[in-house]
């Protein structure tokens, strides 16, 4: 049935010259895909190339091809409470603010059934099991709107407690998240995100020093046509409106500490916009943040940055401050979370060598 399927269209770029098999191409481009599942879908007639159903996984992909995939909707995943420690910055009867560590996925999915923020929250609030849709936190906009958690069945625990994810952070981004405990609070917070009245400030280490030192990046974002697991700046008709504001905080050795403010909340928005203006987030493996650039080409300098990447094996991006109006009390709430240990270490090392290299 159409409601049980997701239609994904892939446009192979005109300059594509890889001569890849169809199953290999789709496995690379489709989120959460495995080659076995892709081959099964092709043989079931779920894939069309240029309007014709193709059932051979070995079919060769050509430049300019239009590939349409009918993906079956996966069954919900049962999220169970897990005694995972949480850094709770604030909590009352209606909501809580947590400082998410890098490496923690927000929502359970088929690649991350356990160890997620949702699992930890269910244990923290004393709820039972919960069914959630298979939605990777990195595959959806940061602003959730209507949380998949709010469509869940009753809990084995207190049925009046419904921890609802209002927004997301990428797995390897650390920092502040607000979580609603009831539907009314969730709706109020979601409304503030929709109206863009939430106050969010991120800190990032980026390659190079932005010039001008402050600015506004307005560039639509959509799936990268070459790899749907990545996002990219795309033509307006193919992407979603996205606006990011940045401000230089501190110039460093070949890098800089920069503050970012989101006007919209798209998938990987800061990371893609930072790359778009020529200043990728340091350590970002997806958006050119691992390439040692902006001058450090000497062996000693390369060794220095390789050491930093070992100490901080992720993008140097942290949700530093979060502010909103309490949906029930009307109180203005503002919170901040210090840089995590790995990012603070890298910052201090960069400060120590700033100006020390010719």
Domain boundaries, the chain: 2-72, 77-195, 200-324+329-353
Distance between alpha carbon 337 and the CA centroid of its chain, in Å? 19
Instruction: Please report the pLDDT score of residue 293 as a whole number.
Output: 65
Catalytic residues: 170
Backbone angles phi, psi at 53, to 5 degrees: -65, 130
Instruction: Please report the pLDDT score of residue 71 as a whole number.
Output: 83
The pTM (predicted TM-score) of the whole model is: 0.79
Domain range 77-195, its CATH number among 3.40.50.1820, 3.30.2350.10, 3.40.50.300, 3.30.70.141: 3.30.2350.10
Provide the β-strand partners of residue 180.
Answer: 95, 164
The CA distance from 202 to 322, in Å, is 9
Dmax over CA atoms of the chain, in Å, equals 65
Instruction: Please report the pLDDT score of residue 183 as a whole number.
Output: 87
Q: Would 77-195 and 200-324+329-353 be classified into the same CATH topology?
A: yes
Query: CB burial class (10 A; 0-12, 13-18, 19+) of residue 283?
Result: buried
Instruction: Please report the pLDDT score of residue 228 as a whole number.
Output: 72
- Give the chain's length: 358
Name the stretches of the chain with pLDDT < 50.
1-2, 131, 133-140, 144-162, 296, 358
Instruction: Please report the pLDDT score of residue 357 as a whole number.
Output: 56
Instruction: Please report the pLDDT score of residue 148 as a whole number.
Output: 36
Asked whether 218 and 20 are in contact (CB, 8 A), the reply is no
The CA distance from 254 to 354, in Å, is 8
Domain range 2-72, its CATH number among 3.30.310.10, 3.30.1330.60, 3.10.290.10, 3.40.50.720: 3.10.290.10
Instruction: Please report the pLDDT score of residue 113 as a whole number.
Output: 80
CATH number for the domain whose boundaries are 200-324+329-353: 3.30.2350.10
Instruction: Please report the pLDDT score of residue 355 as a whole number.
Output: 57
Which pair of tokens denotes residue 255? 């890098």
Instruction: Please report the pLDDT score of residue 6 as a whole number.
Output: 81
DSSP state string for 191-224: HHHHTT--EEEEEEEEES--SSSEEEEE--EEEE
Which pair of tokens denotes residue 317? 């991006």
């Amino acid at each position: 049935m159409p409601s049980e399927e997701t239609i994904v269209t892939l446009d192979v770029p005109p300059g594509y010259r890889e001569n890849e098999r169809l199953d290999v191409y789709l496995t690379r481009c489709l989120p959460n895909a495995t080659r076995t599942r892709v081959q099964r879908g092709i043989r079931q007639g779920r894939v069309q190339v240029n309007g014709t159903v193709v059932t051979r996984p070995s079919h060769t992909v050509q430049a300019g091809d239009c590939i349409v995939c009918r993906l079956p909707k996966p069954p919900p995943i049962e999220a169970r409470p897990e005694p995972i420690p949480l850094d709770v910055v604030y909590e009352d009867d209606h909501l809580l603010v947590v400082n998410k560590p890098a490496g923690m996925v927000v929502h359970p999915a088929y690649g991350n059934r356990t160890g997620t923020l949702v699992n930890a929250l269910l244990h923290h609030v004393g709820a039972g099991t919960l069914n959630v849709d298979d939605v990777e936190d990195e595959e959806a906009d940061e602003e959730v709107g209507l949380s998949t958690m709010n469509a869940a069945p009753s809990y084995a625990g207190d049925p009046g407690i419904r921890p609802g994810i209002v927004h997301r952070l990428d797995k390897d981004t650390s920092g502040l998240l607000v979580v609603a405990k009831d539907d009314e609070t969730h709706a109020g917070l979601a409304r503030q995100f929709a109206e863009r009245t939430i106050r969010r400030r991120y800190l990032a280490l980026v390659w190079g020093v932005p010039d001008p030192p402050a600015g506004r990046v307005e560039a639509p974002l959509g799936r990268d046509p070459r790899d749907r697991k990545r996002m990219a700046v795309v033509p307006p008709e193919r992407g979603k409106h996205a606006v990011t504001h940045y401000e230089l905080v501190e110039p460093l050795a070949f890098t800089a500490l920069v503050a970012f403010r989101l006007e919209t909340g798209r998938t990987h928005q800061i990371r893609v916009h930072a790359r778009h203006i020529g200043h990728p987030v340091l350590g970002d493996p997806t958006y050119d943040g691992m390439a040692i650039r902006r001058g450090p080409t000497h062996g000693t300098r390369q060794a220095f940055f390789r050491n930093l990447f070992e100490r901080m094996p992720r993008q140097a991006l942290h949700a530093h401050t979060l502010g909103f109006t309490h949906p029930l009390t009307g109180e203005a709430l503002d919170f901040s979370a210090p840089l995590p240990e790995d990012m603070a270490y890298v910052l201090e090392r960069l400060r120590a060598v700033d100006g020390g290299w010719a």
